Structure 1
């Protein structure tokens, strides 16, 4: 298997699924005819049984095979939004680390992504409007993670000056943020607003 094939499969594992256009941005952006090149490679990977295609979306969406994602999953647009956030960041400067849906244990927050992008940040991508009680629960989980201190042992931390990541909420709707949180929260519409 070629190096680019392995890299595509690795990104499909990392992001859970990607559209053909996402794959072009990640792996074929410097090629003159990236669309045709991507289509050839993805067809070859599909024929070899490495990836599966979800044709209900346009452009087609790809996932590793066997996929944990059902072809009609309501999570597909959410996974594609996480990939879109990565692309927005990479247009400005590629993050040093970008982990979709990191796991911190039972009862802990489940951010949509963790990124090391100048500063460490948890990213929540909100396509739907949640009730204040749902947000209160989310903030409580982040507060618990802060007080547990386990985040200070992450490999990206500076042991002499550990920090808790910023919480970036990408949303069109204002969210009530509790007073006295021990970490910073930013509500913005797009990643580019972090620089304003």
Structure 2
């Protein structure tokens, strides 16, 4: 039996989610302004992780790496534009194939464009307005028999995040609440032990590949952290792993009730 401390976000933020009892998460990515040194660092992290560099040998016979060079970093109201060039001998297609890694570092709305050996990276800022005007009388007739989701504002949530190629985990949602990251799996049917074992194996493989260490959401003031795996299901699965941490509940509301009174709760 393993125990973990459930952060207080469950008693504050999650009360706002799903008046119908289901998990409803809106995706709004907010771009945090990058300094020029941070932009350089994130570009270097992508190049290191994806081997986007060439190797040379100097006159003393010592090998060294030549990385893409940042030409300019421009800030705007809607985000940033970073222009960089790649060294001779580096296949431009390798940059394009690593778009997923750039999005992990700079945000899901990051786009790459190419002109010869030069690339332009655009990280767009997205958000929600402070006020959304509407006329309740105009929509009440249409929505009378509907159960509507609740808009809870900005979040770091991503619906069905793409963690890599086929064979990598495919969580329903990734979210960060009060600094704690979660991969959320919503299971509306009972899975066999074999299927659950395969799912856990994919998460373990992803853990040991360590690509998650370079994700843009990782904390900057402490070592990288791998997200909890939160399974929302009517079935309580027997889960075990040497590297993964699990949370299980039948609904968001149930986990709130379990964590409001006790400080610790069993997860498997």
The TM-score range, normalised by the shorter chain, is 0.5 to 0.7
| Unmatched segments (≥5 aa) in structure 1 | 1-9, 15-26, 40-57, 61-82
Determine which of 107, 110, 120 is the counterpart of 2:170.
Answer: 110
Normalised TM-score (structure 1): 0.54
Q: Find the aligned partners of 1:34 and 1:28 in 2 and give their Cα distance.
A: 18
Partner of 2:224: 162
SS in 2 for 1:182: coil
Q: How far did 1:121 drift?
A: 0.3
Q: How does 1:46-195 map to 2 (within 5 A)?
A: 59=146, 96-105=155-164, 106-118=166-178, 119-159=180-220, 160-178=222-240, 180-195=241-256
Distance 2:201 2:141 in 1: 43
Q: Kindly state the Cα deviation for residue 96 of structure 1 after the two structures are TM-superposed.
A: 2.8
- Structure number, greater radius of gyration: 2
Say whether the 8 Å CA contact 1:114–1:121 is kept in structure 2.
yes
**Unpaired runs of at least 5, structure 2:** 1-25, 28-107, 109-129, 260-268
Residues 130/30 of structure 1: CA separation in 2 closer, same or farther (3 Å cut): farther
Secondary structure of 2:157 counterpart: strand
Report the TM-score, using the length of structure 2 for normalisation.
0.40
The count of aligned residue pairs is 127
- CA RMSD in angstroms comes to 3.7
Q: Deviations over 1:70-104 (max 9, x none)?
A: xxxxxxxxxxxxx97xx5xx76xx67311111111
The reply to whether residue 36 of structure 1 matches residue 139 of structure 2 is: yes
8 A Cα contact 1:95 1:115, kept in partner: no
CA distance in 1, matches of 2:181, 2:168: 17
Please tell me whether the aligned partners of residues 124 and 167 of structure 1 are also in contact (alpha carbons under 8 angstroms): yes
Q: Sort the Cα spacing of 1:124 and 1:184 in 2 relative to 1 into closer, same or farther, 3 A.
A: same
Describe the superposition over 1:8-41 as per-residue Cα deviations: whole angstroms up to 9, x where unpaired: xx96xx9xxxxxxxxxxxx9987561771896xx
- Cα distance in 1 for partners of 2:203, 2:161 equals 13
The answer for the alignment partner of 2:8 in structure 1 is none
**Bigger strand fraction:** 2
